[in-house]
Amino acid sequence: MSLWNAFTENLVFCFVIWLLIWSLILFFLMGRDKRLSKRRGRRIPEATLFFLACLGGALGGCIGMQLFRHKTQHPKFSVGFPMIMLVQWALVVLLVFAGPAGGRSISP
């Protein structure tokens, strides 16, 4: 295994872990924001939710949106979160398959 292949494999692994951690955070914040909305408490700003989605939590935001039935009527969320998620996971696919030789090992 070449040094480049080892680097890209570790990069993909780290990026996926990054996405999953931020997804968990945003998932729980979507649930918290839903509870706060029911209790009429101080809400989490929409800009914060989008910022966390852009950091990597869009998958968790999408799952939380559906599971908690929260923000599903807002087009900027119901369209925005899935679009951000597609870009993030397309980057994972790109890192996996667009490495040296399209993911194939090169023999010297």
pLDDT digits (tens, 9 = 90+) for 56-88: 999 999 999 999 999 889 999 999 999 999 999
The label of the residue with tokens 């990597």 reads 56
According to the per-residue pLDDT averaged within each range, which of 4-8, 14-18, 94-98 is highest? 14-18
For the full predicted model, state whether its pTM sits above 0.95: no
Number of Cβ within 10 Å of residue 66's Cβ equals 14
Tens digit of each residue's pLDDT (9 = 90 or more) over 20-29: 999 999 999 9
Residue 80 lies in a domain: yes
Range of 62's domain?
Answer: 3-98
Q: What is the tally of structural domains in the chain?
A: 1
- Contacts of 23 by beta carbon, 8 Å cutoff, 6+ apart: 56, 57, 58, 59, 60, 61, 63
Q: Kindly report the number of other CB atoms within 10 A of residue 19's CB atom.
A: 21
74 in a domain, yes or no?
yes
Q: Looking at 9-18, 25-34, 94-103, which range is the least confident one? A: 94-103
Q: Is residue 7 one of the residues assigned to a domain?
A: yes
